[in-house]
Amino acid sequence: MRIFTCLKEVPHRDTRYQITAEGTGIVETDLTFEISECDEYSLEEALKLKEKHDGEVTILTVGRERSERSIRKGLSMGADRAILVADNESKASNPHAVALVLSEILRSEQYDLLLLGTHSDDFNYGQTGVILAELLGLPHATIVMEIQVDVNNQTVRAMREMENGWFEWVEMSMPAVLTIQAGISKVRYPSLRGIMQAKKKEIKKIDLSSLELNLESVPQLEISKLYFPESVSSAEILKGDSSAVVAELVERLKKEAKVL
């Protein structure tokens, strides 16, 4: 089985964001990066399928060269190889453009499944996987919680999440695109052996410009302004040590809010 899993590097979840002077981006100096949460789960699903059905997992990244660090972590977890399309000027910074780049790379690759995160922690558009499926003419399922593959029949079943606690099992023939929801399993830690082995695994680097893609031919989204939401909070933040603060809270809940 051949599985490609897309991996994007994003600022660490505990980042205290700062906006640049131009007001259209975040300050990147001194930032720590990590694999976008949904992409971690996507990689975990790919590795589980590889273990069950025997196969190869390739990590595919469109991003800055620093992404190599996160890719190496993915290789340490058990992926076999990686392809990094280096986009250091962030030219492919919206979903259509990224999907176009991915489709171009995948044209010369063989695969049964393409896994992507449902959304990324930075821009959070949640579109790339489905756009990619349409560009490649492949079936897709989103917000996938569970995957079952029938290698003999070349079909895949996916459990997708719907509103209000409802779920749907769907079936598609492979190759297919699945976007993976976060939190659906336990993401494995790289073992020491995995880390050592990862050093020998190939990260093929391709420069975005060498693909000669017309990124202007797809819809463009641009950030006009990035900012902290105005705090519309009228929350009474109670201050003091634990016992003083709870005493005040209980008093207010009784007398002011009248909910006790």
Partner 1 sequence: MSDKIYVLIDHENGQIATSSLESLSFGRELSRELRMSLCAFVLGHKVQGVADKLASESVDTVILVQDSKLGQYDPDYYCEAICQIMAKDSPYILLMGHTYQNIDLAPKLAARLNTALVTGCKGYRRQEETLLFVRQMFHNQLNADVFIKSAHPWIITMQPGAIDVDNSQRVNTEIVEGVVNLSAVVRCRQSLEIFEAIRVKVDLSRAERIVAVGRGIQEANNLKIIEDLAEELGAEIAASRPVVDNEWLGRERQIGSSGQTVSPRLYLACGISGAVQHIVGMKNSECIVAINIDPNAPIFNIATYGIVGDICEVVPELTKRLKVVRKS
| Residue located via tokens 């620093």 | 66
Min dist. Cβ of residue 19 to partner 1 (A): 8
List the one residue from 105, 135, 151, 203 that touches partner 1 (CB under 8 A).
135
User: Is residue 143 a contact point for partner 1 (CB under 8 A)?
Assistant: yes
Residues 144-163 that bind partner 1 (CB under 8 A): 157, 160-163
Please work out the total of residues on this chain that contact partner 1, with binding judged by CB under 8 A. Answer: 83
Min dist. Cβ of residue 205 to partner 1 (A): 27
User: Is residue 21 a contact point for partner 1 (CB under 8 A)?
Assistant: no
Which run of H or E residues covers position 76?
Answer: helix 68-77
Q: Which amino acid is at 18?
A: Q
Per-residue mark of binding to partner 1, 40-79 (x: CB under 8 A): ----------------------------------------
Q: Which stretch binds partner 1 (CB under 8 A): 53-61, 82-90, 195-203, 251-259?
A: 251-259
The nearer residue to partner 1, 167 or 204, going by C-beta atoms, is 167
User: Is residue 29 a contact point for partner 1 (CB under 8 A)?
Assistant: no
Q: How far is CA 181 from CA 126, 206, 227, 233, in A?
A: 11, 28, 27, 31
User: Is residue 187 a contact point for partner 1 (CB under 8 A)?
Assistant: no
User: Is residue 166 a contact point for partner 1 (CB under 8 A)?
Assistant: yes
Min dist. Cβ of residue 195 to partner 1 (A): 26
Min dist. Cβ of residue 204 to partner 1 (A): 26
Residues near 159 by Cβ (< 8 Å), separated by ≥ 6?
144, 145, 146, 147, 167, 168, 169
Alpha carbon distance, N-terminus to C-terminus of the chain: 60
Residues near 60 by Cβ (< 8 Å), separated by ≥ 6?
4, 5, 6, 7, 82, 83, 102, 105, 106
The nearer residue to partner 1, 198 or 215, going by C-beta atoms, is 215
List the one residue from 130, 149, 180, 215 that touches partner 1 (CB under 8 A).
130
CA distance 38 to 142: 12
Min dist. Cβ of residue 156 to partner 1 (A): 10
Task: Give the side-chain half-sphere CA count within 13 A for 10.
Answer: 22
User: Is residue 118 a contact point for partner 1 (CB under 8 A)?
Assistant: yes
Q: How is residue 78 annotated by DSSP?
A: T
User: Is residue 27 a contact point for partner 1 (CB under 8 A)?
Assistant: no
Secondary structure (DSSP) of 119-138: S-SSS----HHHHHHHHHT-
The nearer residue to partner 1, 19 or 105, going by C-beta atoms, is 19
Which phi and psi (to 5°) does residue 44 adopt? Answer: -60, -45
Nearest to 146 by CA among 189, 188, 92, 184: 184
CA distance 50 to 144: 17
Q: Which stretch binds partner 1 (CB under 8 A): 49-57, 83-91, 193-201, 212-220?
A: 212-220
